[in-house]
Amino acid sequence: MTSVLQQPDAHGLDLAREVLRIEARAVEALAERLDDAFQRTVDCILQCRGRVVVSGMGKSGHVGRKIASTLASTGTPAFFMHPAEASHGDLGMITGADVVLAISYSGESGELLAIVPLLKRMGAKLISMTGNAGSTLAMESDVHLDAGVSQEACSLGLAPTASTTAALALGDALAVTLLDARGFSAEDFARSHPGGALGRRLLIHVHDIMRTGEAVPGVAIDATLSEALLEMSRKGMGMTAVLDGEHRPVGIFTDGDLRRIFERGGGVPGLSIRDAMHVAPLTITANRLAVEAVELMETRKISALLVVDDGGHLVGVLNMHDLLKAKVI
């Protein structure tokens, strides 16, 4: 059975490129128009003793949900409230200490305008994001953000396309500016994303996943190579630490070292671990981030790392399997 390969539709590709160009121009135009209203919005939210309540209908509502989510995950407590539900009880979620970010491209969304008097009555600050500075919503707001676009990317000029992209980008600009003003760090971000890859990378420390106690392979510096091999076999890590009288690692011996002994024609009987080990082994402290251990192991091309306390005493061991199991890698 033969298949017919579809040739790219030149018109379709040209149209898609034009959509992207229109939306890119809309976002670029926003950057040029940013003014004091944006800074007043930032100041208003930074001074807010409550939360940012984002609201909008239709496509503006979808954009609003994303903006609320981005604000919440970057240090600004926020949630989305559907304006239609607000008139049926959800308005009780808002207090006078909150800031309301109302999104409507026309600025004439009936559901939003219906709750504006109630918002003003309770004392909540109102910030609007519209494409019409002369709209009712814009005029009733404490601060108005201009998210207007010169044209929609829709070939019919009807579907919200460039306008929703512009509103989304303006929301991102607001969230990132607030993030910076609050001194929000990568560690802060990870704390609100504990289930994600970033959370695992930034919240898991070496002491959380290292092997300790009897699971740690180690022999004294005066041990024989045969004794070291027995210890490696018992602990099943393909290596053993070599320790001085104070339980400080002075060497390490691995499966790779054993192979190299045989390649040189050497024998195991009677050989001392002191003569076969690698001296000055690489170590890491237990309070370091697990991701730092990964970087160290990958850079030095090793599969195991000895963990020591501040006094240099061996307290644990870590290998790539432990890091994989913890999903740090």
User: Measured between alpha carbons, how far apart are the two ends of the chain, in Å?
Assistant: 44
Distance CA 102, CA 127 (A): 6
The total number of structural domains in the chain stands at 2
Residue 35 within a domain: yes
Same domain, 60 and 146: yes
The domain in which residue 172 lies consists of 19-184
Mean per-residue pLDDT, 292-312: 92
pLDDT beyond 50 at 1: no
Predicted confidence (pLDDT) per residue in 173-185, tens digit: 999 999 998 887 6
Q: Is the pLDDT of residue 194 over 70?
A: no
pLDDT, one tens digit per residue, over 150-165 is 999 888 877 889 999 9
Does residue 2 have a pLDDT over 60? Answer: no
Q: Is the pLDDT of residue 92 over 50?
A: yes
35 and 159 share a domain?
yes
- Indicate whether 211 and 136 sit together in one domain: no
What letter would DSSP give residue 327?
T
153 and 97 within one domain: yes
Question: Is the pLDDT confidence value at 9 over 70?
Answer: yes
Q: Both 179 and 260 in a single domain?
A: no
Per DSSP, the residues of 109-139 read: -HHHHHHHHHHHHHT-EEEEEES-TTSHHHH
This prediction's pTM: 0.64
- Is residue 295 a part of any domain in this protein? yes
Q: What is the pLDDT of residues 262-272, one digit of tens each?
A: 877 766 667 89
Whether 108 and 138 share a structural domain: yes
Of the pLDDT bands very low, low, confident and very high (cuts 50, 70, 90), residue 6 is low
Residues 111, 242, single domain; the answer is no
Whether residue 229 contacts residue 236, with contact meaning beta carbons closer than 8 Å, is answered with no
For residue 277, what is the domain's CATH number?
3.10.580.10
Mean residue pLDDT across the chain: 89
Average pLDDT for residues 246-268, to the nearest whole number? 85
Chain segment 25-67, per-residue pLDDT in tens? 999 999 999 999 999 999 999 999 999 999 999 999 999 999 9
Choose the final residue of a domain: 138, 154, 184.
184
